[in-house]
């Protein structure tokens, strides 16, 4: 029996099975429909748009409604396009979390500091889990170019908690300098 592949008609030998679908969080740049083919707006970006050529995947087909511009959702990547899989996959269109050239101990300390920072400053996200708060906080910086507090006040750089330590740890984890002037500072209030 061969592995099941969606997107093809079946013959009489097809059986019930289960499959893995690689997914990634992305941000819509325009109105998108569930199941619609999408592509990255630009390489390395997490922003997506409609694709006439099949793109990298489709909008989550299980969404109950259209995705509005600037909303976050999962893209279901086309099958057989990921280059590795262990429930943390790789794909040519997406970069893994950047690593700096610093030692693992320094990286781990910086990542742990940022996780704690996210939990303290994003209590709404931390209600889900510390990991969720960290990942969402980092996605906001990497994807949306903003520092976003979910459940705490933040309206400008001047209100940012521990800015020097924040940007130092971001540099270690991301492996690059972050220009504070390129970010916006927002909250959920």
Closest CA to 134 of 108, 158, 155: 108
* Mean pLDDT along residues 9-26: 80
Q: What token pair was written down for 126? A: 């931390």
For 130-143, the pLDDT digits (tens) are 888 898 999 889 88
Closest CA to 74 of 18, 139, 126: 139
Determine contact, residues 27/70, Cβ cutoff 8 Å.
yes
For 27-51, the pLDDT digits (tens) are 999 999 999 999 998 877 788 999 9
CA-to-CA separations, 148 to 18, 40, 151, 168, in angstroms, rounded: 37, 23, 9, 17
| pTM of the model as a whole | 0.50
Q: Which residue has the higher pLDDT, 130 or 101?
A: 130
pLDDT band at 100 (very low <50, low <70, confident <90, very high): very low
Residues 6+ away with beta carbon under 8 Å from 68: 28, 31
Q: What token pair was written down for 53? A: 């050529």
Distance CA 100, CA 145 (A): 19
Closest CA to 146 of 80, 51, 70: 70
């Amino acid at each position: 029996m061969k592995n099941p592949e969606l997107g093809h008609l079946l013959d009489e030998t097809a059986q019930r099975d289960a499959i893995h679908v690689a997914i990634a969080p992305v941000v819509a740049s325009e109105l998108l429909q569930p199941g619609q083919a999408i592509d990255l707006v630009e390489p390395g970006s997490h922003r997506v748009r409609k694709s006439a050529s099949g793109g990298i995947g489709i909008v989550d087909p299980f969404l109950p409604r259209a995705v509005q511009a600037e909303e976050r959702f999962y893209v279901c990547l086309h099958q057989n396009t990921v280059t590795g899989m262990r429930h943390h996959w790789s794909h040519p269109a997406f970069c893994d979390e950047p690593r700096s050239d610093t030692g693992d101990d320094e990286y781990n300390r910086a990542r742990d500091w940022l996780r704690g920072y996210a939990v303290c400053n994003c209590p709404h996200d931390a209600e889900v889990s510390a990991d969720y708060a960290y990942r969402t906080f980092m996605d906001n910086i990497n994807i949306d170019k903003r520092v976003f507090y979910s459940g705490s006040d933040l309206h400008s750089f001047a209100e940012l908690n521990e800015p020097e330590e924040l940007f130092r740890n971001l540099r270690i984890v991301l492996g690059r300098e972050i220009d504070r002037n390129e970010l916006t500072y927002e909250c959920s209030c």
